[in-house]
Structure 1
């Protein structure tokens, strides 16, 4: 779904913004951290698939730092092999650089963090209920 192939240097922080330019997260290694260095998710694969800590697919990371998905999509099941919660990074950035200019999205795509900026703060409805 990504507009073009790109690589993310695993040794450098990759900043995640929404279309308005608000900083939401940092990708360090394969893990996503919010602006207070709390673990909120992880990224996998060449398409840079973004998942919450419970294994719910959120969208794809784009080169401009946004998390994008199709407006209408089939919800995949939760990932079974989620990574364990990592320790907090030692060199977490105190602030983010200015966001890049974002291109327009077609009607068939949405910026996940514009549409639902609290997606990483709640438990997925796909998680089975506790008895």
Structure 2
């Protein structure tokens, strides 16, 4: 008998205000309307769907970045858009968040539209 693949529970991505901003399912990030907006790699680095690195997913499920972090080259190996999973209609209560040092920023608090812009690093169309 074949084993049924266990569904991974969705992770909720928050900003420091406690607002639910996105959902993480099987390493892929989905916005609240169900659009695929990015992914995380094995180091918990967060990339937008166009391959731009925007930060690192913390243990308390916020996307954080050092204030002085330099932009990285676009990720060339962009995964294919995954099939849309069953996404939750609402999130659980947000966790208590750790204090951020001055050298860290919450990407989604600083720039709530981070996933909606096309990267400046992307080459222009000919």
- With the length of structure 2 as denominator, give the TM-score of the two structures: 0.92
Segments ≥4 residues shifted beyond 3 Å = none
Q: Is 1:106 matched up with 2:101?
A: yes
Deviations 1:95-121 (A, max 9, x none): 000000111100000000000010100
Contiguous gaps of at least 5 residues in structure 2: 1-6
Q: Is 1:35 matched up with 2:32?
A: yes
CA RMSD of aligned residues (A): 1.0
Partner of 1:92: 87
Following superposition, the deviation at residue 40 of structure 1 comes to 0.4
Bigger Rg, structure 1 or 2 = 2
Helix, strand or coil for the counterpart of 1:87?
coil
Following superposition, the deviation at residue 78 of structure 1 comes to 0.1
Q: Is 1:25 matched up with 2:25?
A: no
Aligned length: 120
Q: Is 1:73 matched up with 2:69?
A: yes
Q: Aligned partners of 1:75 and 1:48: how far apart in 2?
A: 16
Partner of 1:5: none
- With the length of structure 1 as denominator, give the TM-score of the two structures: 0.89
